[in-house]
Structures are given as structure tokens and as C-alpha cells.
Amino acid sequence: MQSDTITAAAGWHEEKGRTVSLLVVTDDRLHTGQRDWHLATRWPLATDVHVALDLLRKTGEGDGGPVQGWGWSATLDFTGWFLRLAHDPKQNFSTQDATRFVAGVRF
């Protein structure tokens, strides 16, 4: 199976559970120059509660022409469930922005 993306990442993790990572995803199938950069961090607030933040930079050619935008997500992560608020500019390189609130459980 052939992939349509090239992904590169680097990160740091410590024993207390704090992490920081930088990730880039590049679409190489249509030569649109689409790139998503993520600077993500996850920090413990208490024994069973973490906060995760993700800063997104998006560039490339989309459905409606050139795309440049900043997005983000913020997550409160509990042992069995989580809450997330996110903003994704030009989602999937379309002409539409998306803001989402998500609540989920793990099973």
C-alpha cells in the first residue's frame, strides 16, 4: 500500500508525563504543497487529569486557492473521558472553517 503523505516528527517526554512534539504532514500526491505543522504539548494537572494543547499552521493550495491559516485545539483529558475545543481553518483544505466541541469516553 502506498501513502499519500510524508510525515516527520520530533518530541520530548519526561518521567512526570510532560510532552512536547513538533509534527509536519505533507501531501505529496497532487503537488499542492499542502502542509500541516503541529506544535503539541501535554501536561499533567493532577494524577488523573492532563491538559493538551495543539497549535496548527496550515499552508498550501486548497479547493478555493491558496490556504494559510492558524488553528488550535485544547483538551482536558481525564482517565476515562475527555473534553476538547478546536478551531480548524479551511478544514481539509476546503473553503470552510470549522470550530468543534467534542466530549468523548474511552472504552
- Average pLDDT, consecutive stretches of 10 residues, N- to C-terminus, the chain (107 residues): 82 93 89 94 93 97 92 96 97 94 94
| pTM attached to this predicted model | 0.87
Assigned C-alpha cell, 105: 469516553
3-class SS at 93?
Answer: helix
pLDDT value at residue 99: 97
Query: Which grid coordinates are listed for 91?
Result: 478544514
φ/ψ of 31, rounded to 5, equals 55, 45
Q: How far separated are the first and last CA of the chain, in Å rounded?
A: 30
Q: Other CB atoms closer than 10 Å to residue 61's CB: what's the count?
A: 15
